[in-house]
DNA sequence: TTTATAATTGTAACTAGTTACAAAAGCAAT
DNA sequence: ATTGCTTTTGTAACTAGTTACAATTATAAA
């Protein structure tokens, strides 16, 4: 029942008194067109507020100039920063960004991916390694340039742009061990369908040596961080320091520790992973391993546009993740 | 040079040994198709990993099932929350979301809007009232269902879904006045091309009565908040309390005040506007007017999908913005 | 077996553009 | 005025689907 108002090329050509081929040539500045015709067509375009249909363009050229990004969630500021970089960089290349969130659910991811393929995205950005078999088959079959982010693995079957998640958590651990901590509580989000969390946990276990871990898997929310602290305080081997695998959980943990009248870092040190914009302004300022998500967005966007434009498959890129030493962790006082 | 690999309907029909009309009927579950044909076609679809082209669909139906969102920036967590709601709600209606950021630049906004019209978005979400003349003409001419967010004005020429920006800042002001403050520093972002900021400032001036304001316009960043505090501390009539029109600037302000060895709220109260997820975990917990952006996203998405599906123009919606009283503002001690 | 009716299927036109190819027009030199 | 060349223009086929309409086939009743 919607009134179709958008003008099409035929109407433009009619109004300008030329053929649609000539009108098309004016719009695309292709082929030679006389000055008279050009002027008439441009006037008609202006008058009709004609905007060429990307769908019709796409159907001829097979090109949509659109890229899809599948992110686990938009809820975390860390992904917002990533998207911002992406969008910025893609806009510079004349590409549009379609965003879909997957909630770390491979089935939902597959569904959203199909939608993106329907739209005709020319490239795809995904997070991590946990995807359904059918998802892999789909991007394989449609030959969709796809870059996996948030981790680095040069042997992965797709180009990867990200950090080494094992090292990320190990940086946090080494710092705490260097401060003398041996009883460490680890707060992390769900491991199901989240390879990055699993990799970070694996990194910790590999480097365990003479530290004892207590693990708490909670939701990746502020409340999840609170819960984890309560678990630790009730556990028999109470840790002297915490590693949180996300800043949001760390924020919750600090807040719960304060509520329990424990001083951070005096009574409990905490080191985290993410480095959200607000983290350095917490009290105490959060010591956390910075995930270079803005750079990741930039590199990933460039990798995808290069792949699309020049058909050259990008190389994997390892981005450094540095620990930002601030105030939330101190040496263990015996 | 890219190898076209995506299968099309003709190939599916050929493989299944039916006509493309029959194949099309199977895919769309329209018209009657024999069980035999259905099975053959579905097998061919599976085998070829066929995904119908949205462009071809769009060209016939004029429908792309895509919506565009023009946001000032993706850098602020407040917009991330808004987008999350949008994406969620649109996904439920089978709509895809294309995101474009405008940097509060009307020319850039126009350019991005044209791109969105090309793509054939069926609806558009914009922020505020500051748009170029040509932008208005465009959405008028192409009859694009457009909802303006982040403010409420039932008399605006488009449906608006948002809060009353004057009241938002007045809530902050009333609270401080109630605490006895009369010298108030106001931190705000650029007013150029930002009607929401201007409305909030207008709200303050309208309610000025016997308070004296000192205004500081700085970038809408943490650093901007720091700068503003330095300005206030050097000004002759030093305020006893601050109103920050964004939480990010408030975070910077608090951090700078601490650096200057001033106690918040003891030496300086501060009330803000936004209520970012992290704000309640700052020290002191930030008293701030909550902007209901998640709800705004939900309502806006529903308004747009209703407009698209049923061609009924939505009503404007005023969302309440409540002040979250926490710890960053206290009564003025004489 | 014939007929009537319903169910299924295929052909071809249509959507909004691009582009190969042929035709027409413009222009200068003969 | 004719020829040869370049420039400009238009026709029609093509992209990947949908769908109206006609044709075919299946099924049941006579």
- Say if residue A144's pLDDT is above 50: yes
Residues β-bridged to residue B185: B214, B242
Helix axes B54-61, A54-61, angle to 10 degrees: 130
Contact indicator for B90, B96 with CB cutoff of 8 Å:
yes
Among B122, B146, B117, smallest CA distance to B64 is for: B122
**Is the predicted pLDDT of residue A3 greater than 70, yes or no?**
no
- Compute the distance between CA of residue A239 and CA of residue A278 in angstroms, rounded to an integer: 26
| B139 is near strand C: CB distance < 7 Å | no
- Closest CA in chain B for residue A71: B84
Distance from C-alpha of A18 to C-alpha of A13, rounded to nearest angstrom: 5
| pTM check: above 0.85 | yes
Return the minimum-mean-pLDDT range out of A242-251, A263-272, A304-313, B182-191: A304-313
**Residue with CA nearest D15 C1'?**
A60
What is d(CA A143, CA B34) in angstroms, rounded to the nearest whole number? 33
Q: Alpha helix locations (H) across chain A?
A: 9-16, 20-28, 35-48, 54-61, 77-92, 106-119, 133-141, 165-178, 195-206, 222-234, 247-259, 293-310
Q: Is the CB of A21 under 7 A from strand C?
A: yes
Q: Strand B96-101 relative to strand A96-101: parallel, antiparallel, unpaired?
A: antiparallel
Distance CA B82, CA B94 (A): 18
Q: State the pLDDT confidence band at A5, using cuts at 50, 70 and 90.
A: low
pLDDT in tens, B22-77: 999 999 998 889 999 999 999 999 999 898 999 999 998 888 999 999 999 988 88
Which residue of B lies nearest to A312 if distances are taken between CA atoms? B2
Give the bridge partners for B317, in sequence order.
Answer: B161
User: What is the predicted pLDDT for the residue at A234?
Assistant: 92
Q: What phi-psi label fits residue B105: left (phi over 0), alpha (psi between -120 and 50 degrees) or beta?
A: beta
B chain contacts of residue A48, beta-carbon cutoff 8 Å: 141
Rounded average pLDDT over A41-45: 94
Select from A76, A99, A311 the Cβ nearest to the Cβ of B2: A311
**Minimum CA–CA partner of B71 in chain A:** A84
Residue A20 has pLDDT above 80, yes or no: yes
3-state helix, strand, coil split of chain B in percent (to 5) is 45, 15, 40
Taking 60 as the threshold, does the pLDDT of residue B4 lie above it?
Answer: no
Strand order in the sheet with B146-149: A317-318, A160-162, A146-149, A123-127, A66-71, A96-101, B96-101, B66-71, B123-127, B146-149, B160-162, B317-318
- For chains A and B, count residue pairs whose Cβ atoms are closer than 8 Å: 175
What is the pLDDT at residue A4? 42
The residue whose CA lies nearest the C1' of nucleotide D20 is B21
Q: Report in angstroms the alpha-carbon separations of B297 from A63, A97, B15, B79, B305.
A: 31, 19, 45, 9, 12
Residues of A with Cβ-Cβ distance to B2 under 8 angstroms: 143, 308, 311
Q: Which nucleotide is nearest to A20 (CA to C1')?
A: D10
Contact A296, A149 (CB under 8 A): yes
User: Residues, chain A, total?
Assistant: 334
- Alpha helical stretches, state H, chain B: 9-16, 20-28, 35-48, 54-61, 77-92, 106-119, 133-141, 165-178, 195-206, 222-234, 247-259, 293-310
Nucleotides of C under 7 A from a protein CB: 7-12, 14-20
Residue B66: its chain A contacts at CB < 8 A?
98, 119
In chain A, the residue whose alpha carbon lies closest to the alpha carbon of B312 is: A2
- Cβ contacts (< 8 Å) between B48 and chain A: which residues? 141
Q: Looking at residues A300-327, what average pLDDT do you find?
A: 95
How confident is the model at residue A142, as a pLDDT? 83
C-alpha–C-alpha distance, residues B41 and B47, integer Å: 10
Contact call for residues B98 and A97 (beta carbons, < 8 A): yes
Chain B CB contacts of A1 under 8 Å are 311
**What is the end-to-end Cα distance of chain B in Å, rounded?**
77
Q: What is the DSSP letter of B267?
A: T
- Predicted confidence (pLDDT) per residue in B280-308, tens digit: 988 899 999 999 999 999 999 999 999 99
CA distances from A206 to A165, A200, A203, A296, B256 (A): 13, 10, 5, 26, 41
Q: What pLDDT, on the 0 to 100 scale, is given for residue B333?
A: 75
Kindly give the pairing relationship between strand B160-162 and strand B317-318. Answer: parallel
Q: Would you say B277 and A224 are in contact if contact means Cβ atoms under 8 Å apart? A: no
* pLDDT (average), residues A70-76: 90
Residue in B235, B244, B169 with CA at minimum distance from that of residue B208: B169
pLDDT exceeds 90 at position B86:
yes
Q: Return the pLDDT at A334.
A: 59
- Nucleotide nearest A10, CA–C1', reads C16
* Strand partners of residue B101: B71
Q: Which candidate from A48, A117, A255 shows the least CB-CB separation from B51?
A: A117
Structural contact between residues A129 and A195, judged by C-beta atoms closer than 8 angstroms? yes
For residue A125, the SS3 value is strand
A51/B4 CB distance under 8 A: no
Longest CA span, chain A = 90
Residue B2 has pLDDT above 60, yes or no: no
**Token pair of A168, please?**
């990320």
Q: Best mutation site among B102, B125, B281, B286 for testing chain A: the one with the most A CBs within 10 Å?
A: B281
The strand pair at B323-324 and B287-290 is best described as antiparallel
Express each pLDDT in B92-127 by its tens digit: 998 999 999 999 999 999 999 998 998 889 999 999
The answer to whether B326 and B289 have CB atoms below 8 angstroms apart is no
Q: Which residues are within 8 A (CB) of A324 and not within 5 positions of it... i.e. 6 or more apart?
A: A275, A280, A287, A288, A289, A290
How far is A33 from A28, CA to CA, in rounded Å? 11
Residue nearest to nucleotide D10 (CA to C1'): A19
Task: Report which of residues 35-74 in chain B place their beta carbon less than 7 angstroms from any atom of strand C.
Answer: 35-37, 56, 59-60, 62
State residue B277's pLDDT score: 87
Does B55 sit within 8 Å of A58, measured CB to CB?
Answer: yes
Q: Considering CB atoms only, which of B2, B98, B137 is closest to A97? A: B98
d(CA A240, CA A333): 10
Question: Phi and psi of A324, rounded to 5°?
Answer: -100, 100
CA distance A250 to A216: 12
Which nucleotide is closest, CA of B7 to its C1'? Answer: D16
Q: Quick one: average pLDDT of B311-317? A: 94
- C-alpha Rg value of chain A to the nearest Å: 26
Judge: A100–B96 Cβ closer than 8 Å, yes or no: yes
Q: Are B90 and B122 in contact (CB under 8 A)?
A: no
Protein footprint on strand D: which nucleotides are under 7 Å from a CB? 7-12, 14-20
Alpha-carbon distance of A318 to A195, in angstroms, equals 17
Q: What is residue B263's DSSP assignment?
A: -
Q: How far apart are CA B184 and CA B178, in angstroms?
A: 13
**pLDDT (0 to 100) of residue A74:** 87
From the list A51, A118, A120, the residue facing B114 with the nearest CB is A51
Q: What is the pLDDT of residue A2?
A: 35
Chain A residue with minimal CA distance to B69?
A: A98
């Amino acid at each position: 029942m919607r009134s179709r108002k958008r003008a099409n090329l035929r109407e433009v050509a009619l109004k300008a008194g030329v053929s649609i081929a000539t009108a098309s040539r004016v719009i695309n500045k292709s082929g030679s067109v006389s000055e008279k015709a050009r002027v008439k067509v441009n006037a008609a375009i202006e008058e009709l507020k004609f905007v060429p249909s990307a769908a019709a363009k796409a159907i001829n050229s097979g090109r949509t100039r659109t890229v899809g990004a599948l992110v686990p969630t938009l809820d975390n500021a860390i992904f917002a920063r990533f998207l911002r970089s992406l969008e910025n960089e893609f806009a510079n290349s004349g590409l549009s960004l379609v965003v879909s969130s997957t909630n770390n659910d491979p089935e939902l991811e597959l569904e959203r991916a199909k939608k993106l393929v329907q739209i005709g995205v020319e490239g795809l950005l995904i997070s991590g390694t946990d995807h359904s078999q059918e998802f892999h088959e789909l991007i394989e079959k449609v030959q969709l340039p796809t870059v996996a982010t948030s981790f680095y693995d040069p042997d992965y079957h797709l180009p990867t742009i990200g950090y080494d998640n094992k090292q990320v958590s190990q940086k946090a651990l080494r710092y705490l061990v260097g401060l003398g901590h041996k009883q460490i509580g680890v707060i992390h989000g769900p491991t199901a369908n989240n390879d990055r969390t699993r990799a970070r946990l694996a990194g910790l276990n590999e480097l365990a040596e003479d530290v004892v871990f207590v693990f708490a898997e909670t939701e990746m929310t502020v409340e999840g961080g609170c819960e984890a602290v309560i678990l630790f305080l009730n556990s028999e081997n109470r840790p002297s320091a915490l590693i949180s695998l996300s800043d949001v959980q760390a924020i919750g943990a600090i807040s719960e520790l304060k509520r329990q009248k424990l001083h951070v870092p005096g009574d409990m040190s905490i080191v985290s992973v993410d480095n959200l914009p607000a983290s350095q302004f917490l009290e105490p300022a959060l010591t956390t391993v910075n995930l270079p998500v803005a750079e990741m967005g930039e590199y990933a966007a460039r990798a995808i546009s290069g792949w699309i434009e020049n058909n050259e498959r990008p190389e994997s890129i390892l981005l450094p993740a540095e620990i930002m030493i601030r105030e939330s962790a101190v040496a263990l006082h015996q």
